Structure 1
């Protein structure tokens, strides 16, 4: 059932946020102490990192287990902030699409362990819930799908597993969901009741109409039946995220993602349930660009939280999302530089 009261307009946002918060500049791109950020921490390394963040934050970051995979791995959620505006980020529903996860860890560190004046002001106005690596089995197996040798799925691969990002339909209750990873995300969604959901994925390599490489693609809910409030907030968030990512590093180039309309895709499902909902697809631009792409994901997460906190998100013209160019064609095979594990069904679905 839709809960359209969830959508925050500019008027209600500023009522929630009073007194007004001056809009801060985007935070610098994260840098790990002593070297580059690990783009693919193991599940055990992820657990230790989240435990460390929770302890160092003195409880400001609350880490919980919201589900368990078929191989017995925990699915973690981290919550930080006390504000009335609720944002939910999800990373790595597809196990071989890793770069949103280290970006989320860096953001949780910055907000929970080393917040400055601006970050504390954000946390007074926003509560952030992050499902950090929704598909740990897929990560460990380096595959898109979850692990389920008994799977005979409509979406997925028989004997391998289900595609978690096809099992979020509003009509599919968590207790009836054959995919424990998708069920965990849905339970967290129901419990947290977010105004905005942002789902971080990865895609192959593409060029725009000028022949420049695309570094990320974004999209709002496109399923029939998403109400105007949810769609407008989604499009506002797409515009804000695109701007943050374009400013992340020299050469960043953001496009629209040609996603499908199927209601089971998280981007569509949570829009149908009344939330703003955004897909972010980082391009697999190669090992030399992974640190920049992690920074780009970080800036998307940080920029959306800050713009929600200062109210500027709700002042953006939703139609400005239409100014973002279409993605364009795949990069020619000879220029790919690596295998493309992210292309499924023509790569026109999230």
Structure 2
């Protein structure tokens, strides 16, 4: 059963409501401007060249407030782009499109950079003074070109991936494996970026199939925190706090969030970076169809900003992590074509 999402609220309204519902801010912050909302349509699948062009444009318009760099090259020589904005003490890392055929987090990350880096109101200046956000924008450009899950490595004979095609990047973040020994090239680049930045919060943006909840309403996104038994309880609780903020924000902008049924393998990014001490969260946007892609991008963008704002004003630390356990489980699949679901 398919149910159309509700009309989207503005980002400012959604963030304010999320803060009201979750907890009072620990530190007063300027109100987000109306310009902080994402109201215009964006390309849901920009080419690698368009991503590079947009990042350069944002860096130019931001006048030094956004630093764009390559964190390494793919096996076909394409740059893996990262961008950093802010200079505050709380460090946040967003990663998009480890799986090449899961694109919608990438335009959300670009618009986040445009908003936070180019805008220069009191709110923008305040946010940048409180957080530093580093984004790996499209971790898998070779997979994007082929519209497949894996990176490109015709010599691959992987445990996770497909022989002769490539590696599933999101199985190769095991902290016990050094970046130079990592067979999944792009995963090694992310490992180095993580080690150099040491984020307090890491969010990894993916996509899943289509599901409905027990009331028949379509799920628009799913969340999960580290489930590996070796992750410290403090890191799990911090990740749950991030997940609650993301859930409340997405629900308030018209979404319907469930808990993702992921595994505990240490090579999955949300587990690997939880083992290294970060509040590490997976966010899976549902493939709800072309007509809802703009809404999905907006919800991903709203979650990025809400997590950054609550981390900046301190209210994130006051969220009850037990609220995450109340996020409902993901329901039944829609249609037979997704009976064998992707995993994070």
- Please give the TM-score of this superposition, normalised by the length of structure 1: 0.88
Aligned to 1:284: 287
Structure 1 residues 166 and 313: alpha-carbon distance in aligned structure 2, compared to 1, 3 A threshold: same
What is the aligned counterpart of 1:266 among 269, 285, 310? 269
1:20 and 2:23 are equivalent in the alignment:
no
The aligned runs of 1:292-307 (5 Å cut-off) are 292-307=295-310
Displacement of 1:119:
2.0
Aligned to 1:106: 111
For 2:130 and 2:184, how far apart are their aligned partners in 1? 34
Displacement of 1:115:
3.1
Unmatched 5+ stretches in structure 1: 1-17, 334-338
The superposition leaves residues 82-122 of structure 1 with CA deviations (integer Å, 9 ceiling, x where unpaired) of: 10000000000000000000001001001111232212111
For 2:271 and 2:31, how far apart are their aligned partners in 1? 31
Bigger drift between 222-231 and 116-125 goes to 116-125
Displacement of 1:232:
0.7
SS at match of 1:213: coil
What is the aligned counterpart of 1:143 among 127, 145, 148? 148
SS at match of 1:197: strand
What is the aligned counterpart of 1:31 among 25, 32, 39? 39
Displacement of 1:22:
2.9
1:236 and 2:244 are equivalent in the alignment:
no
Whether contact under 8 Å (1:21, 1:121) holds in the other structure is no
Aligned to 2:215: 210
1:173 and 2:181 are equivalent in the alignment:
no
The count of corresponding residues between Structure 1 and Structure 2 is 319
Displacement of 1:300:
0.7
The superposition leaves residues 255-310 of structure 1 with CA deviations (integer Å, 9 ceiling, x where unpaired) of: 00000000000000000011110000000000000000000000110000000001
Displacement of 1:248:
1.6
For 1:311 and 1:103, how far apart are their aligned partners in 2? 24
For 1:247 and 1:115, how far apart are their aligned partners in 2? 26
Aligned to 1:55: 60
Structure 1 residues 156 and 178: alpha-carbon distance in aligned structure 2, compared to 1, 3 A threshold: same
Aligned to 2:331: 328
Structure 1 residues 26 and 308: alpha-carbon distance in aligned structure 2, compared to 1, 3 A threshold: farther
Whether contact under 8 Å (1:21, 1:309) holds in the other structure is no
1:42 and 2:50 are equivalent in the alignment:
no
Structure 1 residues 278 and 89: alpha-carbon distance in aligned structure 2, compared to 1, 3 A threshold: same
Whether contact under 8 Å (1:87, 1:196) holds in the other structure is yes
1:92 and 2:100 are equivalent in the alignment:
no
Unmatched 5+ stretches in structure 2: 1-24
Structure 1 residues 19 and 157: alpha-carbon distance in aligned structure 2, compared to 1, 3 A threshold: closer
- The two structures, once aligned, show a CA RMSD in angstroms of 1.6
SS at match of 1:62: strand
Aligned to 2:134: 129
Whether contact under 8 Å (2:26, 2:315) holds in the other structure is no
Structure 1 residues 163 and 128: alpha-carbon distance in aligned structure 2, compared to 1, 3 A threshold: same
Aligned to 1:225: 230
For 1:311 and 1:85, how far apart are their aligned partners in 2? 10
SS at match of 2:149: coil
For 2:161 and 2:195, how far apart are their aligned partners in 1? 25
